[in-house]
Amino acid sequence: MPSVTSGKVLVTGASSFIATWIVKAFLDAGFTVRGTVRSTSKGEALKEIFKTDKFEYSIVEDILNDALFDKSLKDIDVVIHAASPLPGPDNDPQADPEEFIRPAVDGTVGILKSVLRAGETIKRVIIISSLAAIRNSGDLPELPVYDESNWPSRSLKIVETKGRAAENFVKYAASKILAEKAAWELYNPIKKTLKWDLVALNPTFVLGPILEASPTTDISKVYGPNFYLWTTLHGKPTPPGGYAALDFWVDVRDVAEAHLKAVTIEEAADNRFLILSDRLIPQDLLDAVHENDSAGEFDSLVRGTPGSGKDVEPFSFQLSNKKSQQVLGIKYRTIQDSAKDFARTVNIDLVMETKIQ
């Protein structure tokens, strides 16, 4: 299919952290955006954020009922499927893996089935997958370099063996592997008969500012890697099942740009793209926030031991973002940009003793 440079975009799960930035990126580029939300209150909150007639919303209360997406796809040119569960501080560490897997797989397959029923207006479908569908979780990797050609199996085996006892992030990883595989398995056998094509974006840990934040934002609503970032800035321990002390990351605004580029660049079709900036350690976050802060804006945040941690043993592997740079032309932000901007969007004096012991 040719690239899409104008028209109407559907973003599922539009009120989520990543999806709100995706909506903004497309609005800023001149597209009209329809976001799916679970309630009128969430839709109206987004309208208040974006303040433009080019944003509208439709209510899809249950993403597992693909028929509910049918009305949302009317007159749509591009579909971006961003709705998927993400482990947060409220997740039961003994949760059934199916609580992660079923919504991810059925939601992804369901939206594609709805697209198949939608007619010929749709030109491209983007699904947000994950690094978890490229790199193994829960054990040492087996390859020196991971790129888009890799599909892991270890997370699936851990979930199969341990069940509820598997860490929630491994359950999440399994859900992303199975959801993306299901998408390609549905699409590939019939793609030559379709009027639309498919792209999968696989971001690493996504950090950065919260678009919908206000001075009263409740940090307990900040899930995923941003929760890890918040605990680091406040010197709080990461809860069980949390994120690694050293890992790869990407700014949420770069993820949003990747979605825009994946739509507007023809060569993106039928591809996976690993979306990442660099590796980091917790001290990197602290140093980035306090760097050049002569006004003391972030004095209430911990400093750790500035410059330390450089001797932390690096991973025995690398991740390659060459494809996303070459095809999509993304220039990734630095941790200095992300950490400061995140701290500014959240009430930095808020403590969360009830969530973190």
**CATH code of the domain covering residue 124:** 3.40.50.720
The residues pairing with 248 across neighbouring beta strands, listed in sequence order, are 279
The verdict on residue 312 lying in a domain is no
Among the listed residues 87, 319, 97, 90, the one whose alpha carbon sits nearest the alpha carbon of residue 202 = 319
- The answer to the question of residue 299 being in a domain is no
Higher pLDDT: 54 or 284? It is 54
pLDDT at 93 (0 to 100): 82
* Cα distances (angstroms) measured from residue 21 to each of 28, 58, 254: 10, 18, 9
**Percent over 70 (pLDDT), the chain:** 83
3-state class of 206 per DSSP? strand
Q: DSSP character for 133? A: G
Per-residue burial over 164-196, b if 16 or more Cβ lie within 10 Å, else e, is eebbbbbbbbbbbbbbbbbbbebbeeeeeeeeb
Q: Which residue has the tokens 């609005």?
A: 27
Average pLDDT, the chain: 85
Range of the domain at 158: 8-210+248-277+317-332
Rounded Cα distance, 79 and 299, in Å: 43
| Residue % of the chain over a pLDDT of 90 | 52
Tokens found for residue 283: 């001290």
User: Which residues are within 8 A (CB) of 226 and not within 5 positions of it... i.e. 6 or more apart?
Assistant: 17, 206, 207, 208, 210, 342
- DSSP state string for 222-281: --THHHHHHHHHTTPPPPTT---SSEEEEEHHHHHHHHHHHHH-GGGTTEEEEE--EEE-
Cα three-residue angle 35-37-39, rounded to 5 degrees: 140
- Specify if 123 maps to a domain: yes
Average pLDDT over residues 328-340: 90
Q: Do the bridges between strand 247-251 and strand 55-59 make them parallel or antiparallel, or are there none, so unpaired?
A: unpaired
Q: What are the tens digits of pLDDT across the range 30-58?
A: 999 999 999 999 999 999 999 999 999 99
Q: Is residue 307 part of a domain?
A: no
The domain tally of the chain equals 1
pTM of the predicted model, to two decimals? 0.89
Quick check: helix, strand or coil at residue 323? helix
Q: What are the structure tokens assigned to 241, written together? A: 């099942």
For 191-238, what is each residue's pLDDT tens digit? 999 999 999 999 998 888 888 654 445 555 555 667 767 777 767 765
Nearest of 46, 200, 204, 175 to residue 112 by alpha carbon: 200
Residue 262 or 354, more confident: 262
Residue 266 in any domain: the answer is yes
Orientation angle between helical segments 17-28 and 252-264, nearest 10 degrees: 50
Q: How many CA atoms lie within 13 A of 212 on its CB side?
A: 23
Tens-digit pLDDT profile for residues 73-131? 999 999 999 987 666 555 688 889 999 999 899 999 999 999 999 978 999 999 999 99
Burial class (CB in 10 A: 0-12, 13-18, 19+), 256: buried
Kindly state whether residue 353 falls inside one of the protein's structural domains.
no
- Contacts for 304-311 with beta carbons within 8 Å, 24 or more apart? 304/235, 307/283, 308/283, 309/281, 309/282, 309/283, 309/284
Whose structure tokens read 């911990």?
302
* Within-domain flag for 61: yes
**Residue 343: inside a domain:** no
Say which amino acid occupies 293: D
Indicate the burial class of 246 (C-beta count within 10 angstroms; 0-12, 13-18, 19 or more): middle
Burial environment of residue 310 by CB neighbours within 10 A (0 to 12, 13 to 18, 19 or more): exposed
Alpha-helical regions (H) of the chain: 17-28, 40-50, 98-117, 154-162, 168-187, 225-233, 252-264, 282-290, 322-328, 335-345
